[in-house]
Amino acid sequence: MIAGMAHAPASTLIRLSAVQLAKLIARGEVSSVEVTQAHIARIEEVNSKINAVVVRRFDQALREANEADARRARGEPLPPLHGVPITIKECLDLVGTPSTFGMPSRRSDIPQANDRYVQRLIECGAIVLGKTNVPQALIYNESSNALYGRTNNPWDATRTPGGSSGGEAAIIAASGSPLGLGTDIGGSLRLPAHFCGITSLKPTSLRTHDYSRFSDLAFEFGPITCVVGPMARDVADLALALRLIGALSHPRLPSPQPLGDPAAVDVSKLRVGVFTHDGLMRPSPAVARAVREAADMLRAAGACVTEWEPPDLRQAEALYVRLLTANGAPVFRAALAHDKPEPQLALLYWLAQRSPQMVRRIRRILAAMRQANFTRQLDNIGFTAEDIPRLASEAEAYRRTFAAAMDRADGGPLDLVLSPACFSPAWPHGASRELITGGAYCIVYNLLGYPAGVVPVTRVRREEAIARPLSPDIVDMAARRVDIGSAGLPVGVQMAARPWQEHVALAAMKVIQDEARRRAGYPATPVA
């Protein structure tokens, strides 16, 4: 596959995909120790700038790499990720390391068993280098907390890598890790991938249910569940990781449907619906261009690509936020019982504790101040426990409406939906105080339970880093600050498929990835 890799320089090894590294190690062209050392050195080089890896296990990783090389030397059977270093999100349990969710009160929480998805990758030969940063309680779209500090985007240190899997996205983008695991309950795999110029996949909601002790509790009362998914720089790595973790059964959930093979998908026979605006947050010029370019790439591959308008995404956002905050967001109250909310979370957390009457009074004041975006969000806060069954029923009705709209698209039923992952490129630090959801681009697929992935397409051009109009609305002004100075930042697109059809999304994502890499504007490696 890659000639002359014996004694390859570290600068070459850290650029390779997990699939490539696994093949080279299996053939004996490089050792696991060489690969692990190269990635450790890269983490040590960049981590002072980005603060992505917050729990290190380098000594253990090198011991495991030595053991992996010894097993190969003895001629033992080698699993798919034999000797390949990876990283994992801090919230995922790994014996001997804390799972704090970014909360100082949990700094002594050391699990006695591995998360089952982490364990599965370890059984398949992966070597965990460390754990990566998250926002407090995994709630907002940045990765900053009082325990570990702030993670910076490797493309621009004044910007966030997103959240909640932001540390994972940052270190993969910076070539400190070829593959990682994150979680997603509202875009936490996809938004960081988009912000950092990598690829990720949120599986179908019941395929990789998140078993972590906090997340498993979080939405037992509602239809929104957290899932575990892979992050990488190459779509082939996502496909491999999903094949390894995507068939594990849950003791309380139906068994996942069998995984399909992305290589068996004929992209020329796919029907793809495209939209660029969710009706909530107008896309930045580079974001809209990336979607148009991705659509053209799929057309060139023979797919039937048509403009399509999804069912009211305002309703999707409303249902998502109402379910998230209903009954005063009890899971967040429990999580933060011993910790002060971070600034990005404080306002939403405070509002979720107010009575419906108080929320209505605050809403009237904000409406009078011409704060349309916050007013809309306040319409979604203040719901009680008694409202949850009705909200769940409305969410199920929305799912039926969305599926019917895909079935009845002009020209025939849709296989895929192509859209932005977010209205903009990476946000400045602190912007999630105002940009609570960033629109419905990601969260609609958490509400639906559909699989959805992100793949990088381009970077913001200088002429596209233009300011939005001045506005009295503080959310609109926060969006204006995002676009200013965004030239050079990576931009991805989101590809969603019907339930259990991850392989179809991955096949289309590979087409986009391969063509984007052929073009000059493809995001390479950031400076960090």
Same structural domain for residues 303 and 447?
Answer: yes
**Tokens 């009890």, located at residue:** 330
Q: Provide the domain limits for residue 334.
A: 317-389
Q: What is the pLDDT of residue 175?
A: 97
Phi, psi of 17 (to 5 degrees): -80, 165
Band of the pLDDT at 283, cuts 50, 70, 90? very high
Same structural domain for residues 246 and 100?
Answer: yes
Q: Which whole-number Å values give the CA distances from 80 to 26, 201, 240, 241, 296, in the listed order?
A: 9, 19, 8, 9, 34
Same structural domain for residues 187 and 327?
Answer: no
SS3 456: strand
Digit-coded pLDDT (tens) for 61-107: 999 999 999 999 999 999 999 999 999 999 999 999 999 999 999 99
User: What's the structural domain count of the chain?
Assistant: 2
Mean pLDDT in residue range 513-528: 76
Active site residues: 89, 164, 188
Q: What is the pLDDT of residue 216?
A: 47
Digit-coded pLDDT (tens) for 189-222: 999 999 999 999 999 998 999 977 655 444 444 6
Q: Is residue 3 part of a domain?
A: no
Do 164 and 345 contact (CB within 8 A), yes or no?
no
Closest CA to 199 of 521, 421, 482, 386: 421
Same structural domain for residues 409 and 508?
Answer: yes
Closest CA to 125 of 71, 171, 177: 71
Domain final residue, candidates 389, 419, 439: 389
Q: What is the pLDDT of residue 344?
A: 85
SS3 133: coil
Same structural domain for residues 370 and 394?
Answer: no
Band of the pLDDT at 356, cuts 50, 70, 90? confident
Domain final residue, candidates 389, 407, 434: 389
Same structural domain for residues 206 and 132?
Answer: yes
In the sheet that 179-184 helps form, which strands lie side by side, from edge to edge?
53-56, 127-132, 85-89, 179-184, 227-232, 199-202, 452-459, 490-497, 416-419, 271-274, 304-307
Same structural domain for residues 396 and 372?
Answer: no
Same structural domain for residues 270 and 185?
Answer: yes
Do 265 and 503 contact (CB within 8 A), yes or no?
yes
CA distance 305 to 326: 38
Same structural domain for residues 118 and 177?
Answer: yes
Closest CA to 264 of 6, 501, 4, 9: 501
Digit-coded pLDDT (tens) for 440-473: 999 999 999 999 999 999 999 999 999 999 999 9
Domain with residue 498: its CATH number is 3.90.1300.10
Same structural domain for residues 394 and 383?
Answer: no
Same structural domain for residues 329 and 474?
Answer: no
Q: Is residue 339 part of a domain?
A: yes
Q: What is the pLDDT of residue 215?
A: 55
pTM above 0.85, yes or no: yes
Q: What residues have CB less than 8 Å from 523, skipping those under 6 apart?
A: 155, 197, 456, 458, 459, 490
Domain final residue, candidates 358, 389, 420: 389
Closest CA to 51 of 191, 168, 140: 168
Instruction: Give the CA dihedral 282, 290, 505, 81, nearest 10 degrees.
Output: -120
Q: Is residue 528 part of a domain?
A: no
